[in-house]
Chain A
Amino acid sequence: MSDSEDRIDDPVVAAVVAELKHGPVPSLVVEDRVIGALNRDLKAHRVPSRLQSLARAAAIMLLVAGSVVATWLGSRRLVGSPEAIGPASQPVRFTLEASGLRRVAVVGDFNNWDPRATPMRRHGGTWDITLPLRPGRYRYSFVADDQRYLADPGRPPAGDDDFGTPTSVITVVN
């Protein structure tokens, strides 16, 4: 950045900048509404402890049942393969060439950006996972070792990420 780019020579513009920087700005009172909305979020996601126990038991039963079914179907029906998904979904493979990492997950619009939801599998220096996605536009990133967000070098960057995360975009079509 050069000094000339920062200098304002014109007195009118300099006076405008001084007024905008140092003049009064009406206070926009939003904190209470934000905290109120966050409280509603918490209440909406809060599950009574008895229901939590029931949900945990149901999850374990589903896990066991899923394992039995998966064993019966054999190894050809992998998660995300065309046989295992609904007719409207398409299998989409995500891959990342990266060595020296302990864990990689894919996060995006399809899993609420939850780093625990979709861990990828390692095959040598390649991490991959295939997911069933319905047609649409999805923004996503890879999370390396629970710390770093990485864009997918094989797909275009998403220019509209609010959070500044290195983000790629994929469009799934029918």
Chain B
Amino acid sequence: MALSSGLSEVSQTDAVLVQRALAGDQAAYAELMARHRRRLERYAWFLLGNREDAEEVLQDTFLRAFRGLDRCQEPSRVGTWMFRILVNRCRSRLAKVDLIERGATADAAFAVAPSEGESERGEWREEIERALKELTPDQREAFLLKHVEDFSYQEIESLTGAPASALRMRVLRACEGLRRRLREGSRDYV
């Protein structure tokens, strides 16, 4: 199934970089990583909730993508193809590790320290990240893919293998959960 949003915008240059990387040109692959990392790291960060795991899955994703690059059937959409690998890596990671049990360590790692004058925003951000972590992994995954990464339900179905009806329900529950948790004490930031 073709994926079409965001990262998947057709780019001739991506296709050329893939060809060069397949020929062993590491600089070309470094350029591909730099080009697509922002969205990949955002997803890994918000889904997993701590730097250690997010870095590990991102590194694993880039390595697997390089080693399987000849299996990328649409080189001009290599970014979406990498995203698919990342989604699977994150799922495997969540299955192996009970991230919620990491408690305070994860909280400290997750929080982005606000710069001076941004403390209010920093508190709001911390509230959001706490609320995100209280969702189930399935809900968090569906919410991030749908509303932050802007994939359609059809595309998320293709990425995750979960039926669209279940995905809609997860997104709905995620929105309800976020609304309930954040309304309690964070109205000032909205």
Interface of A toward B, CB cutoff 8 Å: 1, 5, 8, 10-13, 15-17, 19-21, 23-31, 33-35, 37-39, 41-42, 113, 115, 148-149, 159-160, 162-165
Contacts and interface: CB of A to CB of B under 8 A. Distances in A.
Contact of B68 (A11, A28, A163): A163
A28 B178 contact: no
Contact of A25 (B29, B41, B88, B124): B41
A35 B59 CA distance: 10
17 contacts: A10-B175, A16-B182, A19-B124, A19-B128, A20-B128, A20-B148, A23-B121, A25-B42, A28-B54, A34-B62, A34-B63, A35-B26, A113-B71, A148-B73, A160-B88, A162-B84, A163-B72
Nearest to B174: A13
B126 to A, nearest CB: 11
B179 A30 contact: no
A164 B33 CA distance: 19
Interface stretch (B10-18, B44-52, B99-107): B44-52
Contact of B84 (A1, A11, A113, A164): A164
A165 B1 CA distance: 10
B71 A165 contact: yes
Interface string B146-178: 011000111000100100000010000001001
B84 A163 contact: yes
A35 B158 CA distance: 29
Contacts of B33: 31, 34
Given A17-B148, A19-B128, A26-B51, 12 more contacts: A1-B152, A5-B168, A8-B147, A8-B175, A12-B183, A12-B190, A28-B41, A28-B45, A28-B55, A31-B62, A38-B63, A113-B71
Interface in B55-84: 55, 58-59, 62-64, 66-68, 70-73, 81, 84
B85 A21 contact: no
Nearest to B45: A25
B125 interface: yes
B156 to A, nearest CB: 11
